Amino acid sequence: MNMWQKIGTGIGGAALLAAGLWFTIRQINKDVVTVQTEAVARQDLTSVVTASGEIKPLTYTNVLGEGIGKITEIVVKEGDHVKKGDVLLRLESIQPSADVDAQRAGIEAADAGIKSAEANRISAEADIKSRAADLEHAKLEWERGQELFKEGLIPKQDYDTRKASFDSAVAALASAQARAEQSRAQLGQAHSGLAQSRAMLNRLSDVLRKTTYTAPIEGVVTYIAVRVGENVVPGIQNATGSYLMTISNMSVVTSEVMVDETDITSVKAGEAANVTIDALPGKIYQGKVTEVGTQAVLRSSGLASTQSTTGNQEAKDFKVVVTLENPPEGLRPGLSATARITTAQKKGIITIPIQALAVRTKKDLDEAAKQAGRKPDNSITLAAGRPAPDGTSAASSTLNSKDSEIQGIFVVRGGRGEFVPVATGIMGVTDIEVVSGVNEGDQIITGSYKALRTLKPDARVKVDNSSPKVTDDNRS
């Protein structure tokens, strides 16, 4: 064998050795997954619910049309401070004012009629007394005449005269009593007419009153929707009257926000909140939850779910009112605001990054246990994915179905990613409390997202916590 043959044989052997080594290394690292890890630690955690809405005064009122007419004067302007009872605007009032004047004249006439009827009643009662006295005198004369006629002391003509006088007195008394009864009826009729006239005056006065609009509350005129010369109409049936203006009492300011239905169960009255206002960037205002809505509101239409006549599965929100403790000057209703409500706080608890949570089925865990030569663990229980209202979540039920999903994390033990079911508690912005299943100092897999999504239980892993390389495209 010459030198070149020896060299060729050496090169070929080296190539085969290198190929064998490469194949062996590849086989060894074939199922190894590169992951990032993080040590489980204790820290303080705050659970926050974030919701958007707008600034609203606690007390405000929309002034709506009550009567029909044309606006002749708007006394106030936007930004004016008004007290309860101050005049806001006036409508044309010629006809209502004339109707009131005419009705008042009618009441005066009714009063005069009552006085006349009262005088007639008094006169009729006096006439009754006079006729009663005449009747008594005629009765005595007739009774005396009867005695005298029996004794033959008076002629028959005198007797008849006295009897006729008695009968006439009886009739006169009956007539006087009838006239008195008629006068009393007339007096009652006059009183009824007066009451009717006064009731009509109240109605007409109310119509006249509705031509002058006054402030129902003290506050600031925040919006005027009409102009002089426009017509105002009242509400009818289900339609509201003309919208005229809004008066807002800005002494107590709130942020009315809409909280997602998945978060509303953790929001309670009295909880602290930080409110930011888009118009005042960089400033945070303290507040407290003073009202938590109990009726779901459809996100698309803003109507209560009970107002919908058809069933739907669209997202729903709940109204939550946060009262600001020290609102700044110059706030205006309708400004966009965001409230961050603190629903729970815990100190020194075991937490993990939220992205470390993974979900696997019981079938996945049983297969991993079989490959590792272990018996499947039938005592594994399902950990709730969201915290309960009291801030904790324990295992809920034993899993029997192979397709049941289990929430847990991957812990690095012996170069493998061991799936450990966990029970979670309160959730912060980036971290979540772990109630059970993991200990402080455990190395858990936190990334990458692709690795966590596809990682199998008990798979071999390689830890690489180095910073990712920045490519030229990222630099640019």
Look at residue 28 in the predicted model and tell me its pLDDT.
47
Look at residue 384 in the predicted model and tell me its pLDDT.
44
Q: How many CA atoms lie within 13 A of 211 on its CB side?
A: 15
3-state secondary structure of 73: strand
Look at residue 32 in the predicted model and tell me its pLDDT.
85
Under a CB-based contact definition with an 8 Å cutoff, are residues 408 and 383 in contact? yes
Look at residue 377 in the predicted model and tell me its pLDDT.
63
Distance of alpha carbon 460 from alpha carbon 32, whole angstroms = 5
Name residues of the chain where pLDDT drops below 50. Answer: 23-25, 27-29, 382-386, 388-389, 391-399, 474, 476
Q: How many CA atoms lie within 13 A of 457 on its CB side?
A: 24
Contacts of 278 (CB under 8 A, 6+ apart): 335, 336, 337, 338
Q: Which tokens belong to 74? A: 């708007």
Distance of alpha carbon 308 from alpha carbon 297, whole angstroms = 10
Look at residue 12 in the predicted model and tell me its pLDDT.
66
What are the residues facing 46 on neighbouring strands?
345
Look at residue 383 in the predicted model and tell me its pLDDT.
45
Look at residue 385 in the predicted model and tell me its pLDDT.
46
Look at residue 16 in the predicted model and tell me its pLDDT.
66
Distance of alpha carbon 391 from alpha carbon 427, whole angstroms = 9
Q: Which tokens belong to 458? A: 């008990």
Strand residue runs (E) in 293-430:
297-298, 316-324, 336-353, 358-361, 381-383, 395-398, 405-413, 416-421, 423-427
